[in-house]
Amino acid sequence: MKVTERVWQLAEPIAAEAGCSIWDVEFVREGGEWYLRVYLDKAEGQIDIADCETVSRALDPVLDEADPIEQSYTFEVCSAGLERRLKRPGDFERFTGSLVCVRTFAPVNGAKEHIGTLSAYEDGRVTIEQGGKLLTFEKAQVVQVRLHVDF
Q: Where are the domains positioned within the chain?
A: 3-79, 85-147
Going by their DSSP bridges, the two strands 74-79 and 33-41 should be labelled as: parallel
Phi, psi of 44 (to 5 degrees): -85, 0
Q: What angle do CA 40, 149, 100 make, to 5 degrees?
A: 85
> Which among 7, 41, 10 has a CA at the least distance from the CA of 25?
7
CA dist 101 and 34 (Å) reads 27
For the chain, what is the largest distance between any 2 Cα atoms, rounded to a whole number of angstroms? 54
CA dist 16 and 29 (Å) reads 28
Each residue's pLDDT, cut to its tens digit, for the chain (151 residues) gives: 899 999 999 999 999 999 999 999 999 999 999 999 999 999 877 899 999 999 999 999 999 999 999 999 999 999 999 999 999 999 999 999 999 999 999 999 999 999 999 999 999 999 999 999 999 999 999 999 999 998 8
3-79 belongs to which homologous superfamily?
RimP-like superfamily, N-terminal (3.30.300.70)
Q: What is the model's pLDDT at position 59?
A: 98
> Which among 47, 48, 25 has a CA at the least distance from the CA of 37?
25
At 100, which amino acid appears?
Answer: V
- Per the document, the length of the chain is 151
CATH of domain 85-147: 2.30.30.180
Q: What is the model's pLDDT at position 150?
A: 87
Q: What is the model's pLDDT at position 43?
A: 82
3-state SS, residue 51: helix
Q: Are 76 and 34 in contact (CB under 8 A)?
A: no
CA dist 21 and 110 (Å) reads 38
